[in-house]
């Protein structure tokens, strides 16, 4: 048994869970593995005492420090702090000589230097920081005695390119010490076995899986409005329900209010204060763009139970238990069952406590999701996380990282990376192409070329240019963001950061909402927006990009099931409430069941709209819309504007869209699907958007030195330009191909889309031609974000637009051509 654990648990007056004891035993037996446990049940200690025991066994009685013994990798800086505190407490309580250091992007240079002089026994860190350590000379020395790597919240990292960073770092650490033990901690996901195999590597001899099996009861309740809006408009309803959640906040000790975007969080915070001024002082705002100091204050206050409510985003999804929190409110769709349940789990931490979550729909149709979520939770429909494979952008970044520090040899590195799940299928030719990109800047070598990012000396790949090395270290990581501007008060107090493009639209003297305050812009200087507090009630709310996840396939499945129940008249709280909306849909058009696909063709003054409702989630709809547009475009040249939400999609054209029965069959046919998918991707912007992140990770787009933006000015170009140049001059480039592959896997969700086409091919197609927009159509019609498709010539499109503008001119005298609602 684990002596220290027993002492300490007794000292704390706690009893250990079986899963904790099993983990201690497995670690003592030299196993690696995955611990499947929810947040807030002592998973940290399950691992930690195993690590401590190993250290004692190895070094007891020895005077010399062991050097780095354990790396604890977390996805969030906030979580790193939490782990640091938890583990340091153990060392202090038991008076152990085991020191724990923190190393994240915030760690000051002096502290990093001190760590390097004498490494602590453990470092709590992030995937990016480990890569930055590997870009320092002599990194292998630091990791020489490393025995453990712990990956916390692995389910959060898996399915992102940060997960690929972890895979690469582990491959290197395993090469330095082949006997390295790896432990992952993960919440329940659909592909938990795969998650373990990816983490531990293809063939790990000594691996196990430990499940905590702690069942938690979750209560899900939908907050219903007083009256039903029959024409739902995304985002319209939510804020009206603010009054409805006040009693919930009042009745709870401490409530977390989750929103899906940062701007939504700002709006809700503002609005709640307005309708309930008493909340001032006991309500706070927490999201990823706020400064560290503010966020830490909020987290601390939550711990102490001072706060009645916190409006937050995914920034509070993970880790960190706030014991006083007993209620969670989810504003808008959580998009997935796992995410919804994880958020629910942020309340009720005591063993045996019930998690309580209220779902606040943001438009009428979303009300149905409450019912679907209950159904999905009951049937344990927990989503999988799709891992990235063949991410050449991350590989190229890693190659340069190694070249910056001690250099690498091609054969060794190839062998090493092909052991990982991500790069297992990479061929030597592809690997060599990556090498060519960093050594020659591409496949061609021409006279007078001055490209020399990485040079080869006696077979060793190295960076010798110090500026290139410095620029690379500054851009290590797999999160690509827009250029950010710091928001500061005149006195210098830092509030947080906002995308530059938002600030650039403001004039000095303009007001905006940020960090829950009304701020007046005073001036912009050196990437800093200087502001002062204002008492005005008006101001714009910054909108941040991102946060456009699609509904998961489980949730859409549950939703279709619920819709079918609605058609059958099955009683259910949410469905009953929505009855008038369904009646209106039926009156104007049709209410489809599970075996039917509804298509509506509607004319408005904007043109001819085709609305299709597969209920398959936004991304699949985006792909379907592109394919249908592509197939229609083969009949004659068309230009479409396409919009989609999680329920359906719309094709809008300035000319009639033909929809005879025979044709409809063809449009949704599974024949030639692959070829048509390929064809349709080329005509849309999807790959171009994916390329944005790839260009950032691979080091094409450089965001400038912190505080020295001007120096790099001549090196700035947006990824769109790179995308175009690559398409024109190097169409077979690996990075370009990667963009297309990512569109297939993550944007179109190709497997899911194929299934959707197959499902639909068995359905009866119901075509309606309503006079007016229907309740189903309206929210899609109101979508602002639109994808484009055109196979008309530029000249034809231009001439048409020009003719239309001239017509408009004579009618309205307005030349902007903007649509009016």
Partner 1 sequence: MEIVLGNAVVELLSQRALFLPQDRILVIADLHLGKGMHFRKAGIFMPRDSGDRDYAVLHELMQRYRPRQVWFLGDLFHSAHNSDWLLFEAFILTYPDVRFVLIRGNHDILAPEHYAALSLDVVPERLELDDLVFSHEPLEHVAPGKINVAGHIHPGCLLRGLGRQSVRLPCFYLYEQVFLLPAFGALTGLYMMERTKRASIFAILPGRIVLL
Structure tokens at 549: 């996840």
- What backbone phi and psi angles, to 5 degrees, belong to 185? -120, 130
Structure tokens at 244: 């409805």
Among 7, 193, 278, 465, binds partner 1 (CB under 8 A): 465
Spatial contact of 161 and 742, defined as CB atoms under 8 Å apart: no
Judging by DSSP bridges, how do beta strands 787-790 and 639-644 pair with one another?
antiparallel
Q: Which stretch binds partner 1 (CB under 8 A): 16-24, 79-87, 286-294, 786-794?
A: 786-794
Least distance in Å: CB of 787 to partner 1? Answer: 11
Judging by DSSP bridges, how do beta strands 596-604 and 607-613 pair with one another?
antiparallel
Least distance in Å: CB of 707 to partner 1? Answer: 19
Instruction: Examine residue 786 and tell whether it contacts partner 1 (CB under 8 A).
Output: yes
Among 144, 379, 579, 788, binds partner 1 (CB under 8 A): 788
Task: Identify any residues that bridge with 345 across adjacent strands, giving them in sequence order.
Answer: none
> 443: which residues sit within 8 A by CB, 6+ positions away?
433, 436, 730
Least distance in Å: CB of 466 to partner 1? Answer: 12
Instruction: Examine residue 802 and tell whether it contacts partner 1 (CB under 8 A).
Output: yes
Least distance in Å: CB of 439 to partner 1? Answer: 10
Among 442, 547, 658, 770, binds partner 1 (CB under 8 A): 442
Cβ distance to partner 1 smaller for residue 83 or 643 = 643
Spatial contact of 41 and 17, defined as CB atoms under 8 Å apart: yes
Q: Which stretch binds partner 1 (CB under 8 A): 29-37, 125-133, 443-451, 673-681?
A: 443-451
Q: Which stretch binds partner 1 (CB under 8 A): 7-15, 111-119, 238-246, 784-792?
A: 784-792
**Restricting to residues 626-665, which ones interact with partner 1 according to CB under 8 A?**
639-641, 652-655
Element (H, E) at 461: strand 460-462
Question: What letter does residue 468 receive in the DSSP assignment?
Answer: H
Spatial contact of 188 and 36, defined as CB atoms under 8 Å apart: yes
**Orientation angle between helical segments 392-404 and 734-742, nearest 10 degrees:** 130
Cβ distance to partner 1 smaller for residue 438 or 575 = 438
Binding mask 671-710 for partner 1 (x = CB under 8 A): ----------------------------xx-x--------
Question: How far apart are alpha carbons 312 and 260 in whole angstroms?
Answer: 9
Cβ distance to partner 1 smaller for residue 122 or 402 = 402
Least distance in Å: CB of 342 to partner 1? Answer: 37
Least distance in Å: CB of 468 to partner 1? Answer: 5
Question: How far apart are alpha carbons 44 and 328 in whole angstroms?
Answer: 24
Q: DSSP per residue over 323-351, as a string?
A: TT--EEEEES--SSHHHHHHHHTTS--ST
Instruction: Examine residue 473 and tell whether it contacts partner 1 (CB under 8 A).
Output: no
Q: Which stretch binds partner 1 (CB under 8 A): 139-147, 378-386, 419-427, 450-458?
A: 450-458
Instruction: Examine residue 6 and tell whether it contacts partner 1 (CB under 8 A).
Output: no
Q: Could you report how far apart the first and last alpha carbons of the chain are, in Å? A: 70
Cβ distance to partner 1 smaller for residue 14 or 729 = 729
Torsion angle of the four alpha carbons 384, 390, 391, 397, in this order, in degrees rounded to the nearest 10: 140
Torsion angle of the four alpha carbons 287, 292, 294, 299, in this order, in degrees rounded to the nearest 10: 70
Among 306, 456, 522, 805, binds partner 1 (CB under 8 A): 805
Cβ distance to partner 1 smaller for residue 567 or 709 = 709
Question: How far apart are alpha carbons 725 and 442 in whole angstroms?
Answer: 13
Instruction: Examine residue 453 and tell whether it contacts partner 1 (CB under 8 A).
Output: yes
**Restricting to residues 234-273, which ones interact with partner 1 according to CB under 8 A?**
none
Residue with tokens 């933006």: 709
Q: Which stretch binds partner 1 (CB under 8 A): 348-356, 410-418, 448-456, 686-694?
A: 448-456
Q: Which stretch binds partner 1 (CB under 8 A): 222-230, 436-444, 564-572, 741-749?
A: 436-444
Question: What letter does residue 651 receive in the DSSP assignment?
Answer: E
Cβ distance to partner 1 smaller for residue 546 or 817 = 817
Cβ distance to partner 1 smaller for residue 381 or 642 = 642
Q: Which stretch binds partner 1 (CB under 8 A): 154-162, 332-340, 541-549, 788-796?
A: 788-796
Cβ distance to partner 1 smaller for residue 635 or 798 = 798
How many positions of this chain bind partner 1 (CB under 8 A)? 60
Residue with tokens 């996901």: 189
Spatial contact of 610 and 651, defined as CB atoms under 8 Å apart: yes
Task: Identify any residues that bridge with 768 across adjacent strands, giving them in sequence order.
Answer: 600
Among 11, 14, 451, 501, binds partner 1 (CB under 8 A): 451
Spatial contact of 753 and 622, defined as CB atoms under 8 Å apart: no
Structure tokens at 145: 């005695």
Q: DSSP per residue over 585-646, as a string?
A: HHHHS----TTEEEEEEEEETTEEEEEEE--S-HHHHHHHHHHHHHHHHTTS--EEEEEE-S
Least distance in Å: CB of 681 to partner 1? Answer: 20
Among 350, 467, 537, 820, binds partner 1 (CB under 8 A): 467
Least distance in Å: CB of 601 to partner 1? Answer: 14
Cβ distance to partner 1 smaller for residue 199 or 700 = 700
Binding mask 562-601 for partner 1 (x = CB under 8 A): ----------------------------------------
**β strands within 56-195, DSSP E:** 70-73, 100-103, 122-125, 148-151, 181-186
Among 60, 92, 446, 660, binds partner 1 (CB under 8 A): 446
Binding mask 533-552 for partner 1 (x = CB under 8 A): --------------------
Question: How far apart are alpha carbons 228 and 579 in whole angstroms?
Answer: 9
Among 714, 811, 820, 821, binds partner 1 (CB under 8 A): 714
Q: Which stretch binds partner 1 (CB under 8 A): 68-76, 586-594, 745-753, 793-801?
A: 793-801
Residue with tokens 């902007």: 816
Helices (H), 143-241: 154-157, 161-176, 192-200
Instruction: Examine residue 718 and tell whether it contacts partner 1 (CB under 8 A).
Output: yes
Among the listed residues 5, 39, 40, the one whose alpha carbon sits nearest the alpha carbon of residue 22? 5
Binding mask 719-758 for partner 1 (x = CB under 8 A): -xxx--xx-xxx--x-------------------------
Question: How far apart are alpha carbons 298 and 314 in whole angstroms?
Answer: 15
Among 109, 110, 448, 535, binds partner 1 (CB under 8 A): 448
Question: How far apart are alpha carbons 41 and 38 in whole angstroms?
Answer: 7
Least distance in Å: CB of 817 to partner 1? Answer: 4
Instruction: Examine residue 608 and tell whether it contacts partner 1 (CB under 8 A).
Output: yes
Instruction: Examine residue 606 and tell whether it contacts partner 1 (CB under 8 A).
Output: yes
Least distance in Å: CB of 145 to partner 1? Answer: 34
Question: How far apart are alpha carbons 479 and 697 in whole angstroms?
Answer: 8
Cβ distance to partner 1 smaller for residue 764 or 796 = 796
Spatial contact of 1 and 49, defined as CB atoms under 8 Å apart: no
Q: For the stretch 443-477, what's the b/e string if a residue is b when 16 or more beta carbons lie within 10 angstroms of its beta carbon? A: eeeeeeeeeebbeeeeeebbbeeeebbebbbebbb
Residues that bind partner 1 (CB under 8 A): 437-438, 441-442, 444, 446, 448-454, 465, 467-468, 471, 606-608, 639-641, 652-655, 699-700, 702, 714-715, 717-718, 720-722, 725-726, 728-730, 733, 786, 788, 790, 794-795, 797-798, 800-802, 804-805, 815-819
């Amino acid at each position: 048994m684990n002596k220290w654990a027993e002492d300490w648990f007794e000292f704390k007056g706690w009893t250990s869970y079986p899963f904790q004891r099993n983990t201690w035993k497995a670690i003592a037996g030299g196993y690696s593995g995955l611990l499947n446990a929810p947040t807030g049940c002592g998973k940290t200690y399950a691992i930690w005492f195993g690590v401590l025991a190993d250290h004692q066994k190895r070094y007891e009685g020895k005077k010399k420090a062991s050097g780095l013994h354990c790396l604890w990798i977390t996805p969030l800086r906030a979580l790193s702090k939490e782990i640091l505190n938890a583990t340091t407490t153990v060392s202090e309580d038991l008076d152990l000589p085991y020191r724990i250091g923190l190393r994240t992007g915030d760690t000051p240079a002096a502290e990093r230097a001190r760590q390097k002089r004498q490494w602590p026994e453990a470092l709590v860190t992030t995937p990016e920081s480990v890569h930055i350590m590997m870009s320092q000379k002599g990194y292998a020395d630091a990791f020489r005695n490393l025995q453990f790597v712990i990956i916390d919240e692995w389910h959060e990292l898996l399915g992102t390119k940060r997960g690929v960073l972890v895979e690469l770092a582990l491959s290197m650490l395993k090469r330095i010490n082949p006997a390295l033990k790896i432990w992952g901690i993960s919440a329940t996901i659909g592909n938990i076995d795969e998650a373990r195999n990816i983490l531990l590597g293809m063939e790990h001899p000594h691996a196990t899986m430990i499940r905590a099996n702690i069942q938690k009861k979750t209560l899900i309740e939908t907050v219903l409005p007083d009256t039903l809006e029959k024409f739902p408009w995304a985002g319209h309803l939510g804020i009206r329900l603010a009054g409805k959640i006040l009693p919930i906040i009042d009745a709870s000790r401490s409530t977390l209010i989750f929103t899906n975007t940062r701007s939504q969080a700002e709006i809700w915070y503002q609005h709640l204060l307005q309708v309930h001024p008493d909340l001032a002082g006991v309500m706070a705002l927490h999201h990823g763009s706020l400064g560290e100091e503010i966020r830490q204050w909020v987290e601390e206050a939550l711990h102490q139970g001072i706060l009645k409510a916190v409006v937050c985003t995914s920034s509070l999804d993970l880790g960190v238990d706030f014991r006083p929190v007993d209620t969670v409110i989810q504003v808008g769709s959580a998009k997935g069952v796992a995410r919804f349940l994880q958020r629910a789990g942020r309340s009720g931490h005591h063993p045996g406590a019930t998690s309580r979550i209220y779902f606040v729909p943001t438009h009428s149709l979303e009300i149905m999701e409450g019912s679907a979520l209950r159904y999905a939770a009951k049937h344990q429909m927990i989503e999988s996380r799709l891992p990235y494979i063949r991410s050449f952008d991350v590989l190229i970044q890693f190659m340069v990282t190694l070249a910056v520090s001690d250099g690498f040899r091609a054969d060794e590195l190839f062998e090493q990376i092909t052991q990982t799940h991500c790069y297992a299928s990479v061929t030597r030719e592809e690997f060599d192409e990556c090498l060519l990109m960093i050594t020659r800047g591409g496949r061609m070598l021409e006279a007078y070329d001055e490209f020399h990012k990485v040079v080869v000396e006696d077979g060793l790949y190295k960076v010798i240019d110090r500026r290139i090395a410095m620029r690379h270290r500054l851009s290590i990581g797999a999160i690509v963001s827009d250029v950010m501007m710091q928001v500061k008060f005149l006195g210098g107090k830092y509030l947080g950061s906002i995308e530059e493009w938002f600030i650039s639209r403001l004039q000095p003297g303009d007001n905006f909402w940020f960090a829950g305050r009304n701020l007046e812009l005073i001036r912009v200087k050196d990437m800093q927006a200087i502001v002062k507090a204002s008492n005005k009630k008006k101001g714009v709310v910054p909108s941040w990009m991102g946060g456009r996840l699609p509904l998961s396939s489980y949730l859409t499945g549950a939703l279709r099931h619920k819709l079918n129940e609605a058609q059958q008249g099955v009683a259910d709280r949410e469905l009953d409430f929505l009855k008038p909306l369904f009646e209106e849909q039926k009156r104007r058009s049709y209410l489809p069941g599970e075996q039917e696909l509804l298509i509506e063709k509607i004319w408005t003054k904007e043109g001819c709209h085709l609305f299709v409702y597969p209920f398959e989630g936004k991304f699949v709809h985006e792909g379907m819309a592109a394919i249908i547009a592509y197939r229609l475009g083969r009949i004659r040249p068309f230009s479409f504007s396409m919009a989609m939400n999680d329920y359906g999609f719309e094709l809008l054209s300035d000319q009639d869209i033909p929809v005879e029965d025979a044709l409809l069959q063809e449009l949704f046919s599974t024949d030639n699907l692959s070829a048509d998918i390929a064809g349709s991707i080329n005509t849309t912007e999807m790959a171009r958007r994916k390329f944005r992140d790839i260009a950032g990770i691979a080091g094409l787009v450089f965001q400038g030195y912190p505080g020295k933006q001007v120096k790099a000015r001549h090196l700035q170009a947006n990824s769109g330009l790179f995308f175009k140049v690559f398409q024109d001059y190097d169409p077979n480039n690996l990075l370009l191909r990667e963009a297309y592959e990512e569109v297939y896997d993550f944007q179109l969700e190709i497997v899911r889309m194929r299934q959707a086409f197959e499902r639909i091919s068995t359905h009866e197609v119901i075509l309606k031609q309503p006079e007016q927009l229907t309740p189903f159509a309206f929210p899609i019609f109101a979508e602002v974000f639109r994808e484009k498709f055109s196979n008309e010539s530029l000249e034809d499109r231009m001439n048409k637009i020009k003719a239309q503008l001239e017509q408009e001119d004579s009618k309205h005298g307005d030349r902007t051509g903007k649509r009016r609602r």
